[in-house]
Copies of this chain bind each other. A is one copy, B any other.
Amino acid sequence: MALRRVGIIGSGNWGSTIAKIVGTNVHLLNNFQKEVRMWVYEEEVDGKKLTAIINDQHENVRYLPGIRLPTNVVATPDLCYAAQDADVLVFVMPHQFLQRACTQIKSVLKPGAYGVSLIKGLALSNEKGIRLLTDLIRDELQIPCGVIMGANLASEVSLENYCEATIGAKDLAIGRELKMLFQTSYFRMTIIKDEVGAELCGALKNIVAVGAGIIEGLGYGDNTKAAVIRLGFMEMKSFIYQFFGDRDPQEGTFLESCGVADLITTCYGGRNKRMGIALATSNKSLQELEKEQLDGQSAQGPLTASEVYVMLERLKLLDRYPLFTAVHRICTRELPATGFVRCLEDHPSHM
């Protein structure tokens, strides 16, 4: 029987962490080729190519310094070389590059291959407003695509601290193979069929985290923060049922790592919460705050809030999502941060 192969598309801190795990696991699996190719966006570090450094030193000195990668993980700057021959394509890259990557690898795909996305975010679409990143992969490449989502800070996972993740895969055979490839003694996996719900939780939670930050910045205590997190959670759920109800979302998904655990982690740490605090404690624009605090990078939450806002406005549903709506308006400075709590007083969840 031909041995199967994994290709990893991406090599940031999460991609490199995942390469460490998958590289270690395939070593122990009889039905997989030992070599795992990892696509690296080529750049120079101290005058040397990053791929060369990774292949010589077995460390991604740029994005995951200090963590040894297994020697069977092979870095390549050639996207097609990383993808061709792979039965399992692991997408773990910034979401803005996904479309281009799909276009590039389309023609070299191995028949029968499937994808798994570890990317948290949304794409824009003209019809619906937002589009799942996995739908982009599915449509563009004509392959099935699962997700792995959860409360996973790369830095902690790479240090082998105990945590969990959720595998979302409609096809149970795919779910089981992904579990074999990704689970370790410290990185524990639950398989669910609701790949759409899992992916959407991963994207929408960032809006809630901005809200949690705003509340913290305004000086409220744990009670109010817990209320905001929960109301955001309820809006995530409503949104998923409202716009993706035809794709069989499951209530149980919200209690998985991709749901409640990722939400908690994000609302107590991370850049989206930080942006929320900054919005509540200064009068500067979001862009200025991102420049000051995130080196000019964008936080995902305000972006997702704005995409979701456009959809809700078009369908006249803003009053059913007061938290999502208020977060967006605070991000654009239409609404002062101090007006946030007032917006939650008549929440539909209390009707």
Residues of A within 8 A of B (CB): 151-153, 156-157, 161-164, 183, 185-186, 188-190, 220-227, 229-231, 233-234, 237, 251-252, 254-257, 260-262, 264-265, 268-269, 341, 344-345, 347, 349-350
Contacts and interface: CB of A to CB of B under 8 A. Distances in A.
Contacts of A224: 156, 161-163
Contact of A153 (B223, B257, B268): B223
A188 B228 CA distance: 12
Contacts of A229: 260-261, 264
20 contacts: A151-B222, A153-B222, A153-B223, A156-B223, A156-B224, A162-B344, A162-B345, A163-B227, A164-B227, A188-B344, A188-B347, A189-B350, A222-B264, A222-B265, A222-B268, A229-B260, A230-B256, A230-B261, A237-B255, A264-B264
B230 A349 contact: no
B151 A227 contact: yes
A261 B162 contact: no
A219 to B, nearest CB: 10
Contact of A226 (B185, B221, B254, B264): B264
Contacts of A225: 265
A161 to B, nearest CB: 5
A187 to B, nearest CB: 10
Nearest to A179: B350
Copies in the complex: 2
A214 to B, nearest CB: 12
A350 B188 contact: yes
Given A229-B261, A261-B229, A268-B268, A157 B255 contact: no
A225 B257 CA distance: 12
Given A162-B345, A164-B350, A255 B227 contact: no
Contacts of A237: 255
A255 B233 contact: yes
Given A188-B347, A227-B151, A234-B255, A220 B162 contact: yes
Contacts of A347: 188
A225 B189 CA distance: 16
A81 to B, nearest CB: 33
A252 B256 CA distance: 14
